[in-house]
Amino acid sequence: MIEIYGSQAAREVAEAMREKLQVQTPVLAMILGSGLGKVAASLESPRKVSYGDVPGFPKVSVAGHAGEATAGKLEGREVLVFSGRPHMYEGNAAAMVAFPVRVLHALGAKVLFLSNAAGGIRRSYRAGDLMIIEDHINLMSQNPLTGPLQEGDDRFPDMSEAYDAQLRKLMREAAPDLSVTVHEGVYAGLSGPSYETKAEIRMLERLGADAVGMSTVPEVIVARALGMRVAAVSCIANVASGLSSLPVSHSEVLDTTGRVSDQFVKLIRALVRAL
């Protein structure tokens, strides 16, 4: 499994994608989560391809994940957007979930932006807020680097500054121009697909997590092993289990992310302008 989704396979998939999208080296590469793919529709001179039309690229099946790669310009800069991602809860190994990051690196990307929908654990968070991720807690039971060392990887990557401090600063500076509340906090990654129990949320709160979701962590680990700079934002799609009287549902997640998508695009534009 590790070999199938390693560096050699990434180069082969990258070449196929380069040909289909006429990809130039992107100043920023993005992998966008549930309901947050509106950035792709904002690109100038877009070239688009379905994941299913790129041999060897992982497929996605979750509602709100378009499963498309789009190349184009944003704020006059070349970017590459992956709208949708595979998840471990679909039966995928962590190495496969993070494989799109290897493809982006093989396409020349040095800076990676990730987004996800997350449940808010910190009591001050409200649905529709954005959280710049400053650190994470990996509770997904797997590490995507387990197995033979892949070409270009650091065997023991330092994760003490997994989320680039300068990129976080750029996003904080853009926050006052957005009509949504922007926080900075710690993301807990769980494998899913069931949402957390009330007891699990109490545990995560005591561990220091501010939000919880089912993605992103494997991608960040591989990106850091490859020496990429990483920035990530969670859309607080719902208040986590036990902190509200309402049940948690995926339809609620998509409703909330859709509501803040315009502000999310503004944040991405500001980041691209500053790079």
Domain boundaries defined on the chain: 7-274
Could you confirm whether 89 is annotated as catalytic?
yes
Contacts of 60 (CB under 8 A, 6+ apart): 51, 67, 84, 85, 86
User: How many beta carbons lie within 10 A of that of residue 144, not counting itself?
Assistant: 26
117 assigned to active site:
yes
**Is residue 90 annotated as part of the catalytic site, yes or no?**
yes
Q: What does the pLDDT read at residue 1?
A: 45
Tens-digit pLDDT string for the chain (275 aa): 446 799 999 999 999 999 999 988 999 999 998 666 678 888 999 999 999 999 999 988 765 557 899 999 999 999 999 999 999 999 999 999 999 999 999 999 999 999 999 999 999 998 889 999 999 999 999 999 999 999 999 999 999 999 999 999 999 998 888 877 899 999 999 999 998 999 999 999 999 999 999 999 999 999 999 999 999 999 998 887 656 655 666 676 677 777 778 888 889 999 999 88
Catalytic residue among 117, 127, 188, 237: 117
- Catalytic residue selected from 5, 10, 30, 34: 34
Phi, psi of 78 (to 5 degrees): -75, 130
Active-site entry in 92, 238, 241, 261: 238
Q: Please confirm, yes or no, whether 105 is among the known catalytic residues.
A: no
φ, ψ of residue 21 to 5 degrees: the values are: -105, -5
8 Å CB contact between 11 and 106 = yes
* Cα–Cα distance, 78 to 71 (Å, whole number): 7
Quick check: 103 and 15 in contact, CB under 8 A? Answer: no
Instruction: Evaluate whether 71 touches 40 at the Cβ level (below 8 Å).
Output: no
- CATH class of the domain whose range is 7-274: alpha beta
What are phi and psi for residue 100, nearest 5 degrees? Answer: -55, -30
pLDDT of residue 70: 96
Tell me which long-range contacts 61-66 makes (C-beta under 8 A, separation of at least 24): 61/90, 62/34, 62/87, 62/90, 63/34, 63/250, 63/254, 64/33, 64/34, 64/35, 64/37, 64/117, 64/250, 64/253, 64/254, 64/257, 65/33, 65/34, 65/37, 66/37, 66/40
Cα 141 from Cα 213, distance rounded (Å)? 14
The answer to whether residue 98 is catalytic is no
Q: Is 215 a catalytic residue?
A: yes
Per-residue confidence (pLDDT) for residue 253, from 0 to 100: 66
Q: Is residue 250 annotated as part of the catalytic site, yes or no?
A: yes
Model pTM? 0.92
* Candidate list 30, 42, 65, 228, residue with the active-site label: 65
Q: Is 34 an active-site residue?
A: yes
Q: How far apart are CA 195 and CA 141, in angstroms?
A: 16
Task: Please confirm, yes or no, whether 184 is among the known catalytic residues.
Answer: no
User: What distance in Å separates the CA atoms of residue 212 and residue 166, rounded to the nearest whole number?
Assistant: 24
CA 241-243-245 angle, 5° bins: 80
DSSP-H helix ranges across the chain: 7-21, 38-41, 94-97, 99-106, 165-174, 198-207, 217-225, 250-259, 261-274
